[in-house]
Amino acid sequence: MTRREAGFVMVAALAGFLGGTVANGIAPVHAQEHNWPKTLTAERLVIVNPNGARRVEISVDNQGQGNMQIYDEHGRLAWSAPDMHLWPAGGPRP
């Protein structure tokens, strides 16, 4: 390493040290706390995959009946309750 390169390294190290010292002296910035809601209220919840295709839908109809549909990776209905009376494998049936 030449004398000139060594000088550049020293200047860079000193500048980094001074920059860190000055930045530490300025009022520190703290990450803000998230105030996530404890309750989510909706008439319908749709869960999609990374491509935006619907995979799960949970809703309540006008008569207050809860519904849940699960779709396969091709968007076809794979499981539904209670409308289609398709029950999960091994699950109890009324």
The three state secondary structure string of 8-37 is: HHHHHHHHHHHHHHHHHHCCCCCCCCCCCC
Give Cβ neighbours of residue 84 (< 8 Å, ≥ 6 apart): 77
Mean pLDDT, contiguous 10-residue spans, the chain (94 residues): 76 76 65 78 90 91 85 86 59 54
- Kindly list the distances between the CA atom of residue 25 and the CA atoms of 11, 18, 22, 28, 69, in Å, as whole numbers in the listed order: 21, 11, 5, 8, 56
The structure's pTM equals 0.48
pLDDT at 12: 81
- Helix (H, G, I), strand (E, B), or coil: what is residue 71? strand
